[in-house]
Amino acid sequence: MNGGPAGGSLRASGGASEVAREGVSDGTSEGVSAGNEDGPLVAVLGANMGAGHLQVGRELARRLAAHGVRTRLVDIGELLPRGWGRSLTGLYKFMACRAQWLYELTFSAQMRTPPGSTPFLFPLDALAQRRLAALVERERPALVLSTFHLSSQVAGRMRSSGLLEVPVASLVLDFFVHGMWVHGGVDAHLLLHSSQVPQVRERGGKAPLVCGPVVRPAFHAQSPSWGREEARRTLGLAPEERCVVVAGGSWGVGELAETFRTLAAGSRVVPVAVAGHNPRLFASLEDARREVGRGKVLGWVEDMDRLMAAADVVVENAGGLTAMEAMARGAPVVTYRPIAGHGRANALAMAEAGVSAYPRDARELVSCVAELAGDTPLRRRLVAEGLSMFSTDPARLIASWAQAGCLQVPHPQGPSGCPGSLSAPEAASQATSQATSRAAWRAWRPM
């Protein structure tokens, strides 16, 4: 949920010149310094659908530059006819913030397709193909990397139909691998967790490789930008107080005011709520704070790493970048009152994978947060499971592909420690999680 707004220009990082393209407004993606100007290029297809997709693209660009690989950050909306990208973002934001019932219908009908089927995207895929083909022809990337499900479908379809000769990889950012993340034409699917491998295989996806999440170094427990005590002092927290960060993404989506009220009134923790760019949510949270007489309310926060450093527990509602940042920092994650569609599906998938808690009502929330705020076996298990996802770096594998000019997919039972390779225990866990994946797919339902 960190980072500023973005639009749609195409820019190369690593020292290449920046040129505004036809139909693309300047000022979207930030260039990344350093890198070999003669190095291979990776086209990263993201989307202006909240800050998560944008932050992942920027962080990947920074890491790839360290390997001598240049990047071109592309907003998939800008590959559509002029104005369509903004309309698509506006529609998604409206559904997420104001009409979640409509998003639920959309997610169920188009994204949460049964294994083996392909979402029907016409005319969006056809409209984006021409400009993507022109971009690839002009820029000559060694690899197309998708960080958004719609771009995975567009590039996958082009790849399978022969319209795209460049290898395509999909970096899956959701824990629940819905139908739009997977396409048979995509050469490799890079995943957050081993529990996702059977989900990709069931949908006919190639080369599911566990590479872990992508978050900025400021959030990593090994090199935090803020010390715990220093971060807590900035929030005015006493040493004995337990801090619970409540967040709903950069757009401030979901029933955060009710969550805040439940935590402040029903437990001894100090809830710190982040409203993002949502003034209505900020006002509702302020009303809740005055009503219960406890907690803190913040608007848009540039230094979310400071709050993660101060947090004893993080409560979120979508299973997106906020959850991954908390796990990287070593804070246990609770998903409560998840938003419609991917939020509910991610909540169930994360809980099934053992990386987060998913309380279903207010009593469970209060009990769960109280247990996780202390030094308990549940806290230690969730923290350890979350941190274990960051043992590999997706950028290493992506850079090696770009430099080789092809996708050298590691064997699933290859030597542990190779970029993207799966150890024997991981391979065994995939077979075990096959049934769990099917059960999660069938058990998911609106709550």
What local confidence, expressed as pLDDT, does residue 419 receive? 38
Structure letter (DSSP) for residue 71: E
Model confidence at 268: pLDDT above 50:
yes
Q: Minimal CA–CA distance to 116: which of 227, 34, 200, 11? A: 200
Model confidence at 200: pLDDT above 80:
yes
The domain 11-212+392-443: what is its CATH number? 3.40.50
DSSP per-residue codes, 313-380: EEEESSSSHHHHHHHHHT--EEE-SPPTTHHHHHHHHHHHHTSSB---SHHHHHHHHHHHHSS-HHHH
What local confidence, expressed as pLDDT, does residue 412 receive? 52
Model confidence at 140: pLDDT above 60:
yes
Pick from 20-29, 84-93, 119-128, 158-167: least confident: 20-29
Show Cβ contacts of residue 226 under 8 Å, excluding neighbours closer than 6 positions.
Answer: 218, 303, 305, 306, 309, 310
Q: Which CATH class is domain 218-388?
A: alpha beta
In a 10 Å sphere around its CB, with 0-12 CB exposed, 13-18 middle and 19+ buried, how is residue 102 labelled?
middle
At residue 83, the 3 state secondary structure works out as coil
d(CA 63, CA 395): 6
Model confidence at 82: pLDDT above 90:
no
Tell me the average pLDDT across 174-184. Answer: 91
One-letter amino acid of 157: R
What local confidence, expressed as pLDDT, does residue 325 receive? 96
Show Cβ contacts of residue 245 under 8 Å, excluding neighbours closer than 6 positions.
Answer: 271, 272, 273, 274, 307, 308, 310, 311, 313, 314, 315, 326, 331
Pick from 128-142, 383-397, 430-444: least confident: 430-444
- Identical fold for domains 11-212+392-443 and 218-388, yes or no, is yes
Q: Would you tell me how many other CB atoms lie within 10 Å of the CB of residue 198?
A: 22
More confident residue, 108 or 151: 151
What local confidence, expressed as pLDDT, does residue 21 receive? 30
Q: Is the peptide bond before 123 cis (omega within 30 degrees of 0)?
A: yes
- Encode burial over 213-236: b for 16+ CB neighbours within 10 A, e otherwise: bbbbebbbbeebbbebeebbeebe
Sign of CA dihedral 368, 372, 377, 382: positive
- Binned at pLDDT 50, 70 and 90, residue 111 comes out as low
- Relative to beta strand 41-46, strand 143-146 is parallel
More confident residue, 380 or 35: 380
What are the boundaries of each domain within the chain? 11-212+392-443, 218-388
- Are residues 275 and 255 in contact, defined by beta-carbon separation less than 8 angstroms? no
At residue 230, the 3 state secondary structure works out as helix
